[in-house]
Amino acid sequence: MPRSWPRALISALDVAQQAHFAQEDWPAALCRIDATLAVERALQRPPEDIAETRMNRANVLVQMPGRFDEARAELEACLALFQNDPARRARALSSLADLFDEQADIAQAITQERRALALLAQLPDPADRAISHNNLASYLERCGSASALAESPRHRLAALVYWLVSDLGQDLQTALHNYAVHTRRARAAGSVATIPRVADLLADPAFAPLAQWVRQRQVDLDDLQAAVDQLLEQIRQATLAKGVDLFGHEGSLADQGHDLSVGCQRCLGGGR
């Protein structure tokens, strides 16, 4: 057997798997993943590498009725294998949080995402930190308790700061969408969306990793607050506009993410 044959087979299975994902054909996707696992095990690949495929398997299982326990077992096995790999362990914890969220166990979703964020705070990637803060903000908002609703905007702002300062324009679209939906819901409820000040957020010991990260980049806090204010005002104006589309079609608020990111970076002096 040519040495390249197993890699070619895994690649072909991955292409088919992605097609099934796009179609949301979860049984077919699971079949492809199981075939990939069989090849990887036959090749005697390290268990830590195989665990990446097992995480994909768990993410498919959660979409299938009655497979929650199986998905959870896969993710917990991955956590054990990733004991000495904080980046992959954090991804497994975030997947576990999503799993509990799908089961409407918001308390466990919050717990697991907090564990993921604690690991990511020790790692350098701002995009992963931002995603985890954003996930946690969503879980806290769905929790609905007074303390959770007070904490949620702080994590949403933390995600926005990471995305703005890093000039992650594509990811910024996620922040645009979330803030727009949050603003619209608040207006429908007859209230105003509460957004903490950047300086107050960075003074909170719970957000010390973010504060340290901002200091390392020598970002002027007044400039950063001005950039946040500019972005949120444009979101507010867009949500007030008649017929605004929040969901990513051409000309929608999300479609403005790149332009807003460039504008905010200009306000920050071109980024640091």
Q: Each residue of 121-139: pLDDT tens digit?
A: 999 999 999 999 999 999 9
User: Cα separation of 111 and 104, whole Å?
Assistant: 13
The larger pLDDT score, comparing residue 193 to residue 231, is at: 231
The pLDDT of 55-73, averaged and rounded, is 92
Q: Above 80 in pLDDT, residue 242?
A: no
- Is residue 253 in some structural domain? yes
Q: Is the pLDDT of residue 173 over 80?
A: no
List, for residues 244-254, the tens digit of each pLDDT value: 454 444 445 54
Q: How high is the mean pLDDT of the chain?
A: 84
pLDDT of residue 195: 87
Number of domains in the chain: 1
Residue 272 pLDDT level (bands cut at 50, 70, 90): very low
Residue 138 vs residue 177, higher pLDDT: 138
- At residue 140, the pLDDT reads 96
Retrieve residue 269's tokens. Answer: 């002096």
What is the phi-psi region of residue 134: left when phi exceeds 0, alpha when psi lies from -120 to 50, beta otherwise? alpha
- Rounded Cα gap, residues 33 and 158, in angstroms: 35
Whether 245 maps to a domain, the answer reads yes
* Mean pLDDT for the stretch of residues 32-57: 90
End-to-end CA distance of the chain: 52
Q: Cα separation of 214 and 209, whole Å?
A: 9
Average pLDDT over residues 79-107: 94
Averaged pLDDT for residues 42-71? 91
Asked if residue 257 belongs to a domain, the reply is: yes
Top pLDDT among 187 and 5 is at 187
**Does the residue 259 lie in any domain?**
yes
pLDDT band at 243 (very low <50, low <70, confident <90, very high): very low
**Dist. CA 176–CA 158, nearest whole Å:** 14
- Note whether residue 6 is domain-resident: no
Residue 128 lies in a domain: no
In a domain, 5, yes or no: no
Question: Residue 152: inside a domain, yes or no?
Answer: yes
Contacts of 131 (CB under 8 A, 6+ apart): 94, 159, 171
- Domain containing 184: what range? 147-272
Q: What sections of 103-145 are H helices per DSSP?
A: 106-120, 126-143
How much is the pLDDT for 4? 54
Has this prediction a pTM greater than 0.75? yes
pLDDT of residue 13: 72
